[in-house]
Amino acid sequence: MRLQPILALISITLLSGTATAHSPAGQGVLNPNLAAQARLATLPDLNLALAARIIASRPLSSTAELDTILGDALSAADIAHLHEGLFVAINLNTASRAEIMLVPGINRKMAHEFEEYRPYTSIEQFRREIGKYVDATEVARFEQYVFVPLGLNSATAAEFATIPGMSRKMVHEFLEYRPYTNIEQFRREIGKYVDEQEVARLERYITVD
């Protein structure tokens, strides 16, 4: 199959099971939709019971949803601190101002800059545009909390492999059913391999182009 040489180039670090957001800097903000209960429980102010609550609510569609789950157990200050290490990455093209403001260390001026350059077509564009205002270290820190959705009909195998929790087999399936004409087709075809909750989680990272 012609896909084999392409898939062989995907780094082993992009295999399924990763619980961190895509981050070139490797700083490792945990993805609450993927992290194991024991790992979640090691975060400040969390315990096994709260970690179990998070897992039972998967897939979480936003950090605001995560905050609601924890709101009766943690203070607003505790939750804000928790965001530094636990965050549902925001879609740079669709996130509301309120969602953007949940990114740790962001201010209203920077939130405006996040919105100013929409639509983003790649994470490289984000790095370039936001790099006009902050240094490379800060861009890399911000990058842990965001993503640019990938076009189902145009993204490469390597790009699909950057989706958190993606396996080589699932990369193959994403490519196998091209061209996609609508999101319902994606749900139907990928639903042959994973359950409805996982389809919903994966759907956040893609768009039908």
So what's the pLDDT on residue 104? 98
Predicted confidence band of residue 145 (pLDDT cuts 50, 70, 90): very high
Phi, psi of 155 (to 5 degrees): -65, 150
The single residue listed with the structure tokens 């789950």 is 69
How many Å apart are CA 44 and CA 57, to the nearest integer? Answer: 20
**pLDDT band, residue 81 (cuts 50/70/90):** very high
pTM for this prediction: 0.85
Distances (CA, A) of 163 to 13, 29, 93, 108: 12, 14, 16, 28
User: By the 8 A CB rule, do 64 and 97 touch?
Assistant: no
pLDDT band at residue 139 under the 50/70/90 scheme: very high
pLDDT band at 177 (very low <50, low <70, confident <90, very high): very high
Which pLDDT does position 9 carry in this prediction? 38
pLDDT digits over 20-40, tens only? 434 333 348 999 999 999 999
Q: Taking the CB of residue 38, how many other CB atoms lie within 10 A of it?
A: 9
Domain extents in the chain: 20-82, 90-147, 151-207
**Among 35, 23, 31, CA closest to 141:** 23
Average pLDDT over residues 59-68: 98
Pick the CATH number of 90-147 from 2.40.50, 1.10.150, 1.20.120, 1.10.3860: 1.10.150
